[in-house]
Amino acid sequence: MSIKVKALAEVVRKWAANAAGAQTYYESGVKGAGSDWLAGAQAAGPAFKAGVSAGNIQQLFEGGIRKAGAEKYTRKASEVGPGRFSQGVAAGTPDYSAGVEPMLSTIAGISLSTRGPRGSAANLQRVAQVADALHKKRLALRGG
């Protein structure tokens, strides 16, 4: 016996009508949810590792990309992205500031070796000094 389902057009119409009016539910749901998110995300470490280490993860990833396709990417980026871009930048400014500050402080605290002539291996050492300091800072900030 088959399962009776509603017509696709009816399901889509109902979803669109209900989802469009759900902003207040979203807003009330995310307020104060940070501690639940943090606990769940921290507990998910082993599951994340298992997921990204699965033998078929590359095929699943590529399959999802293939299924979405270039047309969906372009359509969603064009229709949704522009309206959210400046709002996202404004909302992200404090986080950007907090994230970039330790890196700028680290760079400002580096005493570079003497610059050599153009093309000198000594100049690559200067780049390595900056890269090494930033890598160490990133690991320290992430607890690595």
* pLDDT(144) > 80: no
Q: How confident is the model at residue 1 (pLDDT cuts 50, 70, 90)?
A: confident
The model's pLDDT over 42-97, given as tens digits with 9 standing for 90+, comes to 999 999 999 999 999 999 999 999 999 999 999 999 999 998 998 999 999 999 99
| Average pLDDT taken over every residue of the chain | 93
HSE-CB for 32 with a 13 A CA cutoff: 2
In 10 A of CB 28, how many CB atoms?
10
Q: 143's torsion region: left (phi>0), alpha (psi -120 to 50) or beta?
A: left
For the chain, domain boundaries: 1-79, 99-144
E-strand spans in 7-56? none
CA atoms 31, 36, 39, 45: torsion sign: negative
For range 22-48, the mean pLDDT? 93
